[in-house]
Chains A and B, each alone.
Chain A
Amino acid sequence: MNLFMEALAWLGDPAHWSGGGGIPTRILQHLAITAAAVGIAGAIALPAGILIGHTRRGAGLIGALSGAARAIPTLGLLTLFGLAFGIGLKASLVALVVLAVPSILAGSYAGIQAVDAATVSAAKAVGMRPSQVIFGVELPLASPVVIGGIRAATLQVVATATLAAYIADFGLGRYLFSGLKSRDYAQMLAGALLVAALALALELAFAAAQRYAASRHAAPARSAGLFRSDRTDTRPAQKGPTS
């Protein structure tokens, strides 16, 4: 409790809220590396997962890859990349990308392949091209699950990005490592609280996004239950990707 009060006091100290090593800067750094890692991982894993889900071919690959990747200890990976690329941000970023890929891959694959085959077949039967089936039918219907994968990846990355400070002066992890070194446990706890708060904020944002996607795209009966004329009547022109 005492330590907790000290941590709060540390957080309340205006001196810690300004300058290059201040809390706002560190939070922005932390968010930046998280966004970069998830963005790069998404650029790799989303197309791959969607394609595998769409063709229903190569599903074994997903299982093997995500299983193997989840077993890799991130700290070990970070050390390895640190040795390979040298000390710095690049090694952390690559390690975080490797961490984020499996969840996004699994989410996009699972979401797409769970779309009712009869719906997909009907879309083809009325004359949609494969790309129109993917972007106009499969992806909208899968979006809650796809977003779920990105959400899981983001949480893993935002928590693990503290390790970036292990080989680079970057992000909220800095408070943990420097606190550890100088036995400033209040600072360590304050850093941990900041990471937890950040993770929580992201979690809430993603939950809202997922709910929105589900209400807008997946069978509305599941979320709305009943016909709600107030909502559906005023819906603006649908901006489907097939337009």
Chain B
Amino acid sequence: MIEFESVSKTYPGGTVAVREFSLQVPSHRTVVLVGSSGSGKSTLLQMVNRMAEPTGGRVLIDGDDVAGRDAVALRRSIGYVLQHGGLLPHRTVLDNIATVPVLNRTPRRRARIQAAELLERVGLDESLGTRYPSQLSGGQQQRVGVARALAADPNILLMDEPFGAVDPIVRRELQAELARIQADLGKTIVFVTHDVDEALRLGDEVVVLRRHGVIAQRGTPAQILAAPADDFVRDFIGADRDERRLTVERIDGRDIAVDGTGRPIGVLDS
């Protein structure tokens, strides 16, 4: 379990990124932080692996304050997908994926074999393994970043907009793949995105953030869709958008779901 206890972060320049943020992320669950740009999402993730130190409050993992943990050991025990890939440009894809296992003294041969398997897991061809990051597309780089985060089989995954650079179709595939991986492996995942649909699709729980990491609403996707807490949340999740306003029409004896534009989008199973 990850606990944020009234965590605040003010950067040296005086920028307030997060103010008094409290949240519990239960083990084996996926919690999605969703909020607009600059709302402090990345900063919240970085305070879990000590890439940023809170200026107030505490972050606990299984009851232990991370401030008391050795930062290097802590980071190796957490899978972290960086917002912009963050691959090492001078190492091949396979070696990038194998980074943490090799740091943890797994023999390089074995680490590479595992890396090749992970490459497949994130939907990339094994032949990409010998390329360098600059020889991949942005979306492919992000997937390598996901594979790298999984490589040491960590209990906790921090994912910072991991699919931000992939096209909508591949994005859906990757979301499905992540859901599959999660069903298999049961990691504790904190997932950051500014895509509401992605949040609703992946989160066991969704946390909608305003500026300064202030929680506007938290709940299951259904709870948030059913009862947006206020206009901000309603706006943010697009509750009034045509494609969210579904009605049912009875046509030829079947119940057809129709969105706000009148376009039929599916059939209700009886």
Chain A residues near B (Cβ < 8 Å): 116, 118-119, 121-129, 132, 137, 140-141, 216-221, 226-227, 229, 232-233, 235, 237-238, 240, 242-243
Whether the Cβ atoms of A233 and B135 lie closer than 8 Å is no
Whether the Cβ atoms of B132 and A125 lie closer than 8 Å is no
Whether the Cβ atoms of A127 and B103 lie closer than 8 Å is yes
Neighbouring B residues of A232 by C-beta, 8 Å: 92, 130-132
Whether the Cβ atoms of B130 and A125 lie closer than 8 Å is no
Neighbouring A residues of B100 by C-beta, 8 Å: 126-127
Tell me whether B244 is interfacial, beta carbon within 8 Å.
Answer: no
Closest 7 A/B residue pairs (Cβ) = A122-B86, A127-B76, A127-B75, A221-B134, A232-B130, A217-B90, A220-B132
CB distance from A94 to the nearest CB of B (A): 37
Question: If the complex has contacts A237-B108, A242-B103, are A125 and B49 also in contact, measured as CB distance less than 8 A?
Answer: yes
A155 CA / B102 CA spacing, docked (Å): 40
The chain B residue sitting closest to A233, CB to CB, is B130
Neighbouring B residues of A122 by C-beta, 8 Å: 82, 85-88
Tell me whether B163 is interfacial, beta carbon within 8 Å.
Answer: no
Neighbouring B residues of A116 by C-beta, 8 Å: 89
The chain B residue sitting closest to A229, CB to CB, is B130
Neighbouring A residues of B134 by C-beta, 8 Å: 219-221
Whether the Cβ atoms of A242 and B75 lie closer than 8 Å is no
Whether the Cβ atoms of B88 and A243 lie closer than 8 Å is no
Question: If the complex has contacts A119-B86, A218-B90, A219-B89, are A132 and B135 also in contact, measured as CB distance less than 8 A?
Answer: no
Neighbouring B residues of A226 by C-beta, 8 Å: 135
Neighbouring B residues of A227 by C-beta, 8 Å: 131, 135
Tell me whether B148 is interfacial, beta carbon within 8 Å.
Answer: yes
A116 CA / B82 CA spacing, docked (Å): 15
The chain A residue sitting closest to B84, CB to CB, is A118
Which of A116, A129, A218, A227 has the most CB atoms of chain B within a 10 A radius of its CB? A227
The chain A residue sitting closest to B133, CB to CB, is A219
Whether the Cβ atoms of B92 and A129 lie closer than 8 Å is no
Report B223-247 CB contacts with A as 1/0, cut-off 8 Å. 0000000000000000000000000
Whether the Cβ atoms of B92 and A123 lie closer than 8 Å is no
Subset of 19 A-B contacts with CB under 8 Å: A118-B84, A118-B86, A121-B51, A125-B49, A126-B86, A126-B100, A126-B148, A127-B75, A128-B72, A128-B103, A132-B103, A137-B88, A137-B90, A141-B89, A220-B134, A232-B92, A232-B132, A238-B91, A238-B95
Neighbouring B residues of A235 by C-beta, 8 Å: 92, 130
Whether the Cβ atoms of B131 and A242 lie closer than 8 Å is no
CB distance from A132 to the nearest CB of B (A): 7
A242 CA / B73 CA spacing, docked (Å): 16
CB distance from A62 to the nearest CB of B (A): 24
The chain A residue sitting closest to B151, CB to CB, is A126
A240 CA / B112 CA spacing, docked (Å): 14
Tell me whether B99 is interfacial, beta carbon within 8 Å.
Answer: yes
A226 CA / B131 CA spacing, docked (Å): 10
The chain A residue sitting closest to B75, CB to CB, is A127
Tell me whether B191 is interfacial, beta carbon within 8 Å.
Answer: no
Neighbouring A residues of B4 by C-beta, 8 Å: none
Neighbouring A residues of B95 by C-beta, 8 Å: 238, 240
Chain B positions 99-136 with a Cβ under 8 Å from a chain A Cβ: 99-100, 102-103, 108-109, 130-132, 134-135
Whether the Cβ atoms of B51 and A125 lie closer than 8 Å is yes
Which of A122, A128, A129, A229 has the most CB atoms of chain B within a 10 A radius of its CB? A122
Whether the Cβ atoms of B82 and A140 lie closer than 8 Å is no
Report B51-80 CB contacts with A as 1/0, cut-off 8 Å. 100000000000000000000111110001
Whether the Cβ atoms of B89 and A121 lie closer than 8 Å is no
Neighbouring A residues of B130 by C-beta, 8 Å: 229, 232-233, 235
A220 CA / B90 CA spacing, docked (Å): 7
Neighbouring B residues of A129 by C-beta, 8 Å: 72
CB distance from B183 to the nearest CB of A (A): 25
CB distance from A211 to the nearest CB of B (A): 15
